Structure 1
Amino acid sequence: MATPAENKEVVRQYYEEAFNEGRIELLDELIAENVVNHDPVSDETLTPEEARGFEGFVRHVEAAREAFPDATVTIEELIAEDDKVFVRFTFDGTNEGPFAGFEPTGKRVKGSNMILMRLEDGTIVERWEESDNLDFLQQLDVLPATEELMKAKA
């Protein structure tokens, strides 16, 4: 069984090396074959069944990189206990490909995310994400700004 420190290193490698550096080949060693990704904004072209498992997880990462090719994740906090790792990070990137059913906007966005991952034997087996999707979609100009929504209700 991996230690909390070893699990933190796996999660750090996932974000800083596999995602930021585009080293998708690292997913083979970081992600379990039967991984479950509980992501509210996963690739809309995948069914829930297709989004599960290693291939669905890889597609999720590829879709994010296609939508935001210059994306970077900056880890703000990394906390581990037993088999779980919590990571809070900021995401920064320019929308140059389809995202969440919307066409590319060319807009640069920045947002914060919180992820909880469960690991077994040094690989990620489950992932839950919480993020401010309203703010993110408003930055992309695919949804009206909060002020505009409030005026429309009045």
Structure 2
Amino acid sequence: MKNRKEMIKTFYKIIENENYDELKPFCHEDFVFYPQIDTPFYGVKGLKDSEDKNFAPFPDFKMPVKEIILDNNDSAAVYLNFEGTHTGAPFNGINPTGKSVKFSLMMLLKFKDNKIIEKRSHVDVNDIIKQIKQ
């Protein structure tokens, strides 16, 4: 597999393109996703199910990786910017407004056997709501 930073960039590009089946080679068989809260979503299917709900309100979204910080203990912090227009599904009960949003995301990835075994997401949902209500 490519070096770890390239692997992470490719992983997020695949998510941005919503080609979830292509994530399987990147994810450990015990992969788990924790979106913002400690409710786990298991496997690539769990990640897809969770992310579909998050991205459906913003069908034109882009999510470029801005920075990756690696440590020596099989962890990585990934900083991304999310940009999209609220023209899709309702977000948090708010019908599409046509408003553009831009917010930052911080992810913590953990690795095992050179694959991602855990992904934790941290985002300020209230900031998103504020932007689509303005």
Deviations 1:102-148 (A, max 9, x none): 4333221000111110011232111122222221110011xxx7xxx
Is 1:115 aligned with 2:107? yes
CA distance in 2, matches of 1:99, 1:12: 26
- Report SS of the residue matched to 1:67: coil
**TM-score, L = length of structure 1:** 0.73
Which of 44, 49, 65 is 1:54 aligned to? 44
- Report SS of the residue matched to 1:26: helix
CA distance in 2, matches of 1:108, 1:71: 10
Unaligned runs of 5+ in 2: none
RMSD of aligned residue pairs (Cα, Å): 2.4
Which of 89, 93, 113 is 1:97 aligned to? 89
How big is the shift at 1:64? 2.9
- The aligned residue for residue 127 of structure 2 is 135
The answer to whether the 8 Å contact 1:14/1:30 transfers is: yes
Is 1:85 aligned with 2:79? no
Which of 6, 28, 39 is 1:9 aligned to? 6
Unaligned runs of 5+ in 1: 43-47, 146-154
CA distance in 1, matches of 2:104, 2:117: 23
How big is the shift at 1:41? 6.9
The answer to whether the 8 Å contact 1:39/1:128 transfers is: yes
**TM-score, L = length of structure 2:** 0.82
Deviations 1:35-90 (A, max 9, x none): 22121279xxxxx46x2333211212322332221110121111111311111111
Is 1:24 aligned with 2:20? yes
